[in-house]
Every structure is written in C-alpha cells, then in structure tokens.
C-alpha cells in the first residue's frame, strides 16, 4: 500500500487527527514503534518523484506503463507547470481538477455539482467534452482572468505594426499580441463557453480591449457572456469605466462574423439602439438560440431591430430586462411573435415601461397566432386593470409560466384570472405578488396553478375568441404601418 495513490489524503488526515494524543496502542493491542512511520520509499516511488522534479525539462507521462505510477506522478506534479506543456501532454482529469481548485478555490464551475451527482448515481450523459471537463474549465478560467486584467494600451495591433517596422528589436506590445495568439492556440480547442465579467477601459478614452482577434481564434466557441464595464475602478474612477464606444461594438461584430454562437449575453453594458443594431447585423448567420441584452439602454428602435432579428434567426430565449422599451417596441415584438416561423419559447421584458395597449396586443398575438411561446415575464411593467391577461389565459392553453408581479392589476383582474384558471391546464407557474390582489384571491390562483402541476384534470374547453376583428386591426395594421417595422 502506497500513500497517496491508494488512500485519499483527506481520509488519512481524518483518521490521523492531531487533536487526540497518540497512545501507540492499536485496537489489536500491538504497539506501533517510531520506525513504523519512517519506512523508506521504494525505488519505484523515488523514480516517480525524480520525474516530477524534472518534468518541465523532460515531460514524460504516456511513457509510464503502470497506471499507479501515473496517478502518483499527477498527484505530486506541481501546479506551476507551464500551460504550453500541460495542455499538450496532460489529459487526466486528476491533474486539471487539482490545478483548478488550487488556483480558484472559490469559483467552482456551474456544471460540477450536476456532473458529480451523475457520477454518484452512475448516470451516463453522452457529452464528449465530459472526458476533459476540468481541463475545459481551467482553460476557460485562465483565458477569462487574462482578458479581465488586460489593458487596452497593451493590446493595439496598429502600434504593433509600427514597432515591427521602426523598432524590430523592441518586443513590448508584440509580446501581448503573440500571447493572445498562443492562448487561442492552446485553449481554443477546449473553450466552448467564455464569460468575461469586466473589461478594463483605456486611460485616455472609453475604449476596451479589441475582441475580434480573440474571437476569431476561438473556433469552437458556442456561448459568450460579456460585460463592457469595469467593476472596480478604485481611485482611478472615470465615466469611461461604464461606457462603451462604437469602435468596441464594431470590433466585436467583426469577431462575431467569424464564429457561430448558440448563446450570446451582453448585459450590464452601455449598449443603445445603434450599438445593438451593429451586433445584430453580425449575428444574422448564427444559429442563435439565446439572446440576452438585459440591463442596457435599448429603446423602441432597438426593439424593432430585435423583433426583425427573431424572425430571421431561430431564437428560443430572449431577455430584454431593464431596458427602455416602450409601446412601440413591444408592438414590434408582438408582430414577431405572430409570425408563422417564430420559435420563441421564453420572453423576458420585466422592468420595461410596457403599456396596457402594447401588452394586450402581445397577448392577442399569442392567442391568435403563436403556440410556441411558453414563458412570459412582465414584472414591474406599469400594467393596470386594463391588461386583459385573464381573457388570454381563457382562450389559449399554451402558456406555462407567467410573471406579472409588481403591477397594479387590482382585485377585479385577480378574480377574472381565477375564473380563467379553472379552465386552464397548462399554467405551471404564475406570479401575481404585489398586484393589489387580496390574499384569498391570490391563494385561490396558486391553488389552481398547483392543480396543473400535479396533473389535476380540468374542463379545458376553450371559449370562442371574441376579439378576432380587433386583433386583425391591431396586429396587421397598427404593427406594420404605425411603428414602421418594415423600415
């Protein structure tokens, strides 16, 4: 038996605790002498330790035949091995998990709990990246840390070209650019999701690091989450830390044209209508399933462009939380939802000023034309008792999740909603808190929703839609001619 290959270190420390004095007597009555703890290492173990000490000069791993020796080498191998050697020579999850937890002990990946539970239950997922999960996590975090600490002054391709011409022997900015290319070459095959929580602004302007060269090198990237702001400005605060330039958007759009994303999240950034349009034009050829532009500055004109984009791309989830979208923008989204090829399943518009008129048109488009939209979030959208949510639920059994909390709907709307739910069997989650609805009515609403969750049978015969003529006039005329959707 050799430690630590056959006994886990945590298990050994738990059973050899220093809290209790060691008496030297075992359970069988035999005495453990001092020389029992100082057994010399075997020649085999000393050879493995010698390989670990000189591994950077002679990276040997696949040449080791015994699995036991390989595990021992990976266990004692230092975490400071250069990334160039580690990525190309080591694929074992033991080493990459050790390196990740040693470097980022408080930033566990989101999928680790799920993967660990599947391992304990013996479930097999068919994900080909699961074999190199920790290696993928490490490469993603390493790239994220480097980009979040990179200053725009240190990455300027124009200045690099000038240096190469005028001063060939001065590798100041060339090192940074070659480092970006090296990271893309090393981490690119393993990075399919990249989250950048902050970007450092330039000292002289509001420009951030150019991302087009980076995105071009990440050919396997499928998910990108980006925030164009600096979280901690400290004593060097300026408004440039929370603003975004049009050049940043243009360079980002240039990089997006060279990859194929499935999920894009640009949140908490200074993105207005014009900047959003620049990004949307670069995403036309993507198979984008999730688009998140929450907590930005997108108004009605940007919402019109987003609505047009959803008719061209198979977007399934759309998040527009806390923007400046009003009546015209919501009507545009209602028009997009009413299209035959719309694949939208989730629409989040809370914290926008949605009027009752625009909200009713959105519901009418669901009732008449759309059956794919399952989840709608309209919390804190300035809706009143003129919002006809009860009529929509009575005529269409397709919505599964609805959030209308923090709206002044009133008690009458609550009672109508309760009557509509008695003939609705699809609603699984309904949030009507802070809507000026009495506690008894709200409890009755949640009781009807609970019946749907447990599969309680209901009389779900839908009534005839009484607002067909109004719906035609509102959607086919008002949405196209009034708002200028086709402009």
Whether 261 and 302 have beta carbons less than 8 Å apart is answered as: no
* pLDDT for the residue 3: 45
Residue 376 β-bridge partners: 347, 402
As to burial, measured by CB atoms within 10 angstroms (0-12 exposed, 13-18 middle, 19+ buried), residue 38 is exposed
Set out the domains of the chain in order of their start, with CATH numbers: 1-10+39-78 (no CATH), 98-107+131-297 (no CATH), 310-487 (3.80.10.10)
* pLDDT for the residue 122: 41
| Residue from 344, 313, 334 nearest 475 by CA | 334
User: Please, what is the Cα angle at 98 between 97 and 104, to 5 degrees?
Assistant: 85
Q: How far apart are CA 319 and CA 86, in angstroms?
A: 39
Whole-model pTM? 0.82
Q: How far apart are CA 407 and CA 432, in angstroms?
A: 8
| Residue from 224, 156, 150, 142 nearest 184 by CA | 142
* pLDDT for the residue 207: 72
Q: How far apart are CA 137 and CA 210, in angstroms?
A: 23
**In Å, what is the CA distance from 323 to each residue of 268, 269, 350?**
10, 11, 9
Tracing tokens 């060279």 back to the chain, one arrives at 258
Whether 426 and 462 have beta carbons less than 8 Å apart is answered as: no
* pLDDT for the residue 175: 45
Q: pLDDT tens per residue, the chain (487 residues)?
A: 344 445 666 776 777 655 555 555 555 555 555 555 566 778 888 999 999 999 999 998 888 888 888 888 998 999 999 998 999 999 988 899 999 999 999 888 877 655 544 444 444 444 444 667 899 999 999 999 998 888 877 665 554 454 445 445 444 444 456 677 788 888 889 999 999 998 888 776 667 788 888 898 898 999 999 998 888 777 777 777 888 889 889 999 999 999 999 999 999 999 999 999 999 999 998 899 999 999 999 999 999 999 999 999 999 999 999 999 999 999 999 999 988 888 999 999 999 999 999 999 998 888 878 788 999 999 999 999 999 999 888 877 788 999 999 999 999 999 999 999 998 888 999 999 999 999 999 999 999 999 999 988 766 555 544 445 555 555 555 444 434 444 4
Q: How far apart are CA 293 and CA 147, in angstroms?
A: 21
Whether 255 and 216 have beta carbons less than 8 Å apart is answered as: yes
* pLDDT for the residue 167: 47
Q: How far apart are CA 250 and CA 278, in angstroms?
A: 7
Is the N-terminal amide bond of 249 cis, ω within 30° of 0? no
Q: How far apart are CA 154 and CA 182, in angstroms?
A: 16
Pseudo-torsion of CA 431, 436, 439, 443, nearest 10°? -30
Beta-strand runs (E) in 394-483: 401-403, 429-431
Measured in degrees and rounded to the nearest 5, phi and psi for residue 42 equal -75, 160
Measured in degrees and rounded to the nearest 5, phi and psi for residue 120 equal -70, -35
Those residues whose C-beta lies under 8 Å from the C-beta of residue 214, and which sit 6 or more positions away, are 147, 180, 184, 255
* pLDDT for the residue 478: 46
Chain length of the chain? 487
Beta-strand runs (E) in 166-271: 193-196, 223-226, 263-266
Q: How far apart are CA 229 and CA 200, in angstroms?
A: 7
Q: How far apart are CA 376 and CA 220, in angstroms?
A: 32
* pLDDT for the residue 204: 67
* pLDDT for the residue 169: 47
Residue 213 β-bridge partners: none
Helices then strands, counting H and E runs in the chain, come out as 19, 9
Q: How far apart are CA 60 and CA 91, in angstroms?
A: 13
Q: How far apart are CA 192 and CA 221, in angstroms?
A: 4
* pLDDT for the residue 170: 42
Those residues whose C-beta lies under 8 Å from the C-beta of residue 270, and which sit 6 or more positions away, are 228, 229, 242, 243, 244, 296, 297
Tracing tokens 């959208």 back to the chain, one arrives at 381
Question: DSSP class of residue 319?
Answer: E
Pseudo-torsion of CA 386, 389, 391, 396, nearest 10°? 160
CA atoms within 13 A on the CB side of 41: 10
Q: How far apart are CA 381 and CA 93, in angstroms?
A: 48
Sign of CA dihedral 113, 117, 122, 127: negative
Q: How far apart are CA 293 and CA 329, in angstroms?
A: 14
User: Please, what is the Cα angle at 336 between 334 and 340, to 5 degrees?
Assistant: 115
CA 361 to chain centre: 31
């Amino acid at each position: 038996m050799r430690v630590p290959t056959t006994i886990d270190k945590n298990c050994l420390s738990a059973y050899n605790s220093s809290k209790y004095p060691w008496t030297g007597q075992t359970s069988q009555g035999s005495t453990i002498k001092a020389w029992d703890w100082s057994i010399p290492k075997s020649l085999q173990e000393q050879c493995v330790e010698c390989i670990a000490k000189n591994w950077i000069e002679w990276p040997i791993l696949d040449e080791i035949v015994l699995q036991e020796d390989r595990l021992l080498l990976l266990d004692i191998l230092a975490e400071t091995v250069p990334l160039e050697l580690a990525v190309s020579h080591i694929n074992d999850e033991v080493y990459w998990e050790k390196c990740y937890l040693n470097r980022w002990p408080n930033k566990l990946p989101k999928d680790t709990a799920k993967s660990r539970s599947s391992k304990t239950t013996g479930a097999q997922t068919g994900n080909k990246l699961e074999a190199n999960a920790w290696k993928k996590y490490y490469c993603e975090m390493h790239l994220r840390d480097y980009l979040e600490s990179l200053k725009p002054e240190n990455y300027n391709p124009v200045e690099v070209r000038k240096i190469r011409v005028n001063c060939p022997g001065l590798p100041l900015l060339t090192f940074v650019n070659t480092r970006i290319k090296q990271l893309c070459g090393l981490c690119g095959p393993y990075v399919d999701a990249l989250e950048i929580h902050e970007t450092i602004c330039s000292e002289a302007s509001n420009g951030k690091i150019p991302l087009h060269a980076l995105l071009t090198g990440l050919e396997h990237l499928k998910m990108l989450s980006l925030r164009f702001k600096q979280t901690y400005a400290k004593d060097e605060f300026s408004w440039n830390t929370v603003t975004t330039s049009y050049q940043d958007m243009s360079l980002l759009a240039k990089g997006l044209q060279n990859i194929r994303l499935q999920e894009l999240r640009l949140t908490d950034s200074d993105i207005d209508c014009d900047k959003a349009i620049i990004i949307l034009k670069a995403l036309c050829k993507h198979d984008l399933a999730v688009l998140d532009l929450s907590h930005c500055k997108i108004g009605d004109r940007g919402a019109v462009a987003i609505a047009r984009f959803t008719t061209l791309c198979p977007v399934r989830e759309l998040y527009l939380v806390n923007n400046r979208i009003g009546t015209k923008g919501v009507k545009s989204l209602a028009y997009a939802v009413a299209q035959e090829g719309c694949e939208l399943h989730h629409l989040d518009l809370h914290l926008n000023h949605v009027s009752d008129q625009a909200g009713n048109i959105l519901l009418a488009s669901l009732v008449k034309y759309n059956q794919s939209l399952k989840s709608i979030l309209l919390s804190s959208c300035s809706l009143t008792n003129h919002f006809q949510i009860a009529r929509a639920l009575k005529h269409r059994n397709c919505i599964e999740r609805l959030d209308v909390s923090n709206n002044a709907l009133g008690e009458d709307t609550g009672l109508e909603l309760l009557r509509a739910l008695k003939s609705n069997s699809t609603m699984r989650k309904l949030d009507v808190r802070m809507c000026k609805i009495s506690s008894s009515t709200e409890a009755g609403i949640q009781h009807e929703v609970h019946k749907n969750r447990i599969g309680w049978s209901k009389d779900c015969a839908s009534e005839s839609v009484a607002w067909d003529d109004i719906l035609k006039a509102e959607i086919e005329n008002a949405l196209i001619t009034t708002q200028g959707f086709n402009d």
